Structure 1
Amino acid sequence: MHRIRCFAVGGFKINGLPRVGKGPMTSKEVSDTSNEASLPKPTRAGRIETCTGLIRQATKCLKNNDKQCVIRLIEELIKNQCHDGRLIGKEVADNARNVIYRLWRITNDEARCEVLTLFKSLGVSRNWISVTLKVGGRLSDLLRRCGIEIEGRVTRNKIIENIESLMVRELSWSEKMMCRALLQFIGIDIDGFEKHGIDACAWLHAETSISYFIGIIASDIADCVIKAKRYEYVKVSLNTTESISAVMFLKILTDIGKPSISIVWGNGTPRRREKTNVAIQYFVFVKKEEWRWLSIEELIKYIKALGSEDVPKLIAGIIDGDGSIRYDFKKSTLNISISACYNCKKRILLDAVQEALGKLGIKSHIYEDEEHNAAVLEVYGKNAIKLLRLITKYLHHPIKWLRAELILVFYDGKINYDTFVELYNQTKYGDSNNDPKRYHGLETLAQAAPQTHTHGNKNHQPHKKELNNWCRRRDLNPGPPGYEPYAGLSPQGAPARLSYPGV
């Protein structure tokens, strides 16, 4: 038996001499081989120098009208990523695009097809081609004329649409299925309600009118101005940690656009080690000039101008946001309340709502607690029953709608007291984090799978087009009779200040 000699040279362990070759490599040889295997990546400065030189050569070829020379150099520019402003800097990338555009302007159709073919072979995106050549929507026609197919980049929205369409096609997803999954998750006995003639998912077909949406804006929607390069946008968002709102808010926002979703920790920080609840934010972006509701004065003017037929829709929106429907078993009476902070601008909304309720002949009272910075508008007794009959068909909040319908069925004598108590208790919120109605918004999304882009049949929302026009075009919807959107504005467009207590 031969003993194998082991050599340790240059950090490598080699079992004996090789049968072919020079033997073990020296440290220098190992280093040289390593350098050959992984060439150093060009630095930004080096890439800029290369790109600048190519642009200079291409410009010279353009002056000499040597188009083939320019095309060869364009290929080198793209291969060296001179067209990507993120890697090379905006100035150099713009110069590269300018060379390409100058060539495009002086070429005939045949040469243009050659350029487009080059772009396809180099994997350049449709959007970049469209912007660089300044052809906009005509790019598809140009590609078709040249017999070229360049796939557009698959957007996130398109991916979501495909997934949701697959759910409908393969899993028979429907809004009814979503509703039942939601209610079962939060502990609602759907069969128990349906046994007494209450369709637990009827809230899916609630009308989304302009007045309802104004109620949501006044109570729950957050909006802030985002500055972009050329425009200012308003980020319109709804935030929640609750299971029910996680589905309802998404459905509401689909009336003004395709909402995006953001998942953050409940205290607004991304720090996982802090034990807190997960919050869900749905948001859409609207151009600032198309969103008039940044000013609370605009909301007040709209509410004051509402006719009696639209007031219930407004109240339903506000209750879905910051209101409550509660039956007081000790006093055997119904209480409907809308809350606001005392020492803030939102307080004045309660006065406007109280005035609007007066148009329906409904009496209400406002209670203020300055110490706890709280103000509450309350309607109770017979007035509450009258109001409930007017607003129930407009409620979108599943639990509030279910509770409202249950109370009306009880008041109409269709169920006995024991049944009422049993079903009503299912709509109550628990105090602990273990209650599936609270702090389980993210889990609800996984269970109910509400859709964001292909959200069921919108035929039950006859005001959607009107709502979109309202949000986007002031001139198309002047508002209810008596509503003057520009009244009280200064020449600079600043709203006249309204006075209210606490501010």
Structure 2
Amino acid sequence: MNRLDTCRSLVEEAMRCLENGDKECVMRKIEELIKADCHNGYAVGSEIVSRVRELVHELWLRNKDHGFRCGLLTLLRDLGLTKRWARDALRVGGRKLDRWLIKCGINWEGKATRGNLVKEIEGLLRRLGWDEVKMCEEMWRLVGVDVDEFRRHGIEPCAWLEGLESLHDLRRPYWLGLRASDLVIRYNGEINGEIELALGTTNSVDAVFFPTLLKTVKTPSPKIWLKRIASPMVKYILRSIVLSFYVDLGPNEWPWPIELSADELKRVLDGFTDEELSMFLAGEIDGDGVVWYNDGAFVAITACKNCPKRAILDILKEVVAKRFGAIGKIKSYETADALVFHDYNAIKLLKHIVKYMHHPLRRLRAELILAYYEGRVDDEELESLYNMTKYKQGAPDVKRNNALEATTQAAPQTHTHGDA
């Protein structure tokens, strides 16, 4: 009997086992089929391969028991099949399969998974002299910030990288602050308890910051799509490329409540030490905050009107005044409300939180404003340095709508130490 005949016979036997409800028999026949190379189109042709995949798919559909499905996935892995083959056979997406592997505790690394490729390339580039500081400097060069000029005035533009490694611990209150602002948390599909952390952006600085931040937890994966822009501030562009970065977490890896009522948040904040509260506020401002200078220092935390996040502003106003003596006012704008700290109240707040801030632009502005208030830079130097960090209003600005370019130029996977 030749290979084709062997494969046809095994498929028929497996289908009889399937019809009889004998799933263990089907598993044995699948093992025989794979060992006979019946899954290989080059060896047996597409018709046989399709029948083998259909067999695996039918077995998956008819047996929804968690333990059995984990056993099937383990068998396919142990037989040396690729994750791509399994995805095609089971007719599930890559992320859905990955969630099942996490739930089952199965380590199924391909020969060249995306995460491993990134790590290998980073390792190579480090040996060639690349590091996070070079990435940071490349990002600033792209958006028009002269790092040498800042350093001449005693301000380190890459200070946002300091302490970043400590955020591998999701129990740090910074993450709860980021969750209260920009961090999106979604439950993943049919596997209870598993969640996804995601951050999305169209601007250049965030496109470098977000994956760098998420990488402290796990190697993030990107998504790219086009978004229509309907804003008077960006009349020069109709559509923008959106970059989103996400990591999948297994059950119980996220230590904070996913949803918090105002009263629950107040109890959590009241239980924080001053340091923990500073971390929380830094995460909140890195997400939905603004730091700027306009005849005085300003720090604002924004929230949408008439949405659950709006109640956070009232709580933060009370807690920050009580703990840090920084008095803020809630102001109403056309599309959002904001808790705003001005002048020396902003400085009080920044002095508590600046070392925990990791958003590159907000950290740089905070360091510059503090240097000015402390007399380390004068009026003229403040204006010159601050102008580099400003966004152009109503005109093209490399800081906006250039997320993809920033990622390709600053990220370790693509940086080549040369001008594009």
Shift of 1:85: 5.6
The answer (yes or no) to whether the contact 1:241–1:440 under 8 Å persists in 2 is yes
Percent identity, aligned pairs only, is 32
**Structure 2 residue corresponding to 1:401, chosen from 363, 371, 383:** 363
Is residue 2:332 matched to residue 1:374?
no
SS at match of 2:391: coil
Comparing both structures, which one devotes a greater share of its residues to helix?
2
Amino acid aligned to 1:53: E
**Structure 2 residue corresponding to 1:280, chosen from 194, 219, 243:** 243
The 3 A distance-change label for structure 1 pair 446 and 362 is same
Q: In structure 1, how many angstroms separate the alpha carbons of the residues matched to 2:288 and 2:32?
A: 63
Q: Unaligned regions of 5+ residues in structure 1, if any?
A: 1-41, 60-66, 96-118, 130-135, 141-150, 269-273, 453-503
SS at match of 1:213: helix
The answer (yes or no) to whether the contact 2:182–2:288 under 8 Å persists in 1 is yes
Q: Which residue of 1 aligns with 2:162?
A: 205
**Structure 2 residue corresponding to 1:240, chosen from 198, 201, 206:** 201
**Structure 1 residue corresponding to 2:373, chosen from 408, 411, 420:** 411
Q: In structure 2, how many angstroms separate the alpha carbons of the residues matched to 1:139 and 1:412?
A: 53
Alignment map for 1:68-467 (pairs within 5 Å)? 75=36, 78=39, 81=48, 86-91=53-58, 124=81, 153-170=111-128, 172-207=129-164, 208=166, 210-228=172-190, 230-267=191-228, 275-287=238-250, 289-291=252-254, 292-297=256-261, 299-329=265-295, 333-357=296-320, 358-369=322-333, 372-432=334-394, 434-450=396-412
Question: Which digits, 9 at most, give the CA deviation of each residue in 1:274-296, with x for residues without a partner?
Answer: 95100110111224544343212
Alignment RMSD, CA only?
3.9
Shift of 1:310: 2.1
- TM-score of the superposed pair, with normalisation by structure 1: 0.60
The 3 A distance-change label for structure 1 pair 299 and 128 is farther
Q: In structure 1, how many angstroms separate the alpha carbons of the residues matched to 2:381 and 2:107?
A: 66
Which structure has the bigger radius of gyration? 1
How many residues get paired? 347
The answer (yes or no) to whether the contact 2:10–2:32 under 8 Å persists in 1 is no
The answer (yes or no) to whether the contact 1:324–1:338 under 8 Å persists in 2 is yes
The answer (yes or no) to whether the contact 1:303–1:352 under 8 Å persists in 2 is no
Amino acid aligned to 2:112: V
The answer (yes or no) to whether the contact 2:137–2:147 under 8 Å persists in 1 is yes
Shift of 1:48: 10
Q: In structure 1, how many angstroms separate the alpha carbons of the residues matched to 2:10 and 2:339?
A: 68
- TM-score of the superposed pair, with normalisation by structure 2: 0.71
Q: In structure 1, how many angstroms separate the alpha carbons of the residues matched to 2:286 and 2:399?
A: 15
The 3 A distance-change label for structure 1 pair 420 and 277 is same
The answer (yes or no) to whether the contact 1:247–1:450 under 8 Å persists in 2 is no
The answer (yes or no) to whether the contact 2:219–2:247 under 8 Å persists in 1 is yes
The answer (yes or no) to whether the contact 2:228–2:238 under 8 Å persists in 1 is no
Question: Which digits, 9 at most, give the CA deviation of each residue in 1:306-334, with x for residues without a partner?
Answer: 222322222111111111111122xxx21
The answer (yes or no) to whether the contact 1:85–1:93 under 8 Å persists in 2 is no
SS at match of 1:296: coil
Q: In structure 2, how many angstroms separate the alpha carbons of the residues matched to 1:301 and 1:389?
A: 24
The answer (yes or no) to whether the contact 1:242–1:439 under 8 Å persists in 2 is yes
The answer (yes or no) to whether the contact 2:122–2:412 under 8 Å persists in 1 is no
Deviates more, 1:204-213 or 1:238-247: 204-213
Shift of 1:56: 7.8
SS at match of 1:173: coil
Shift of 1:401: 1.3
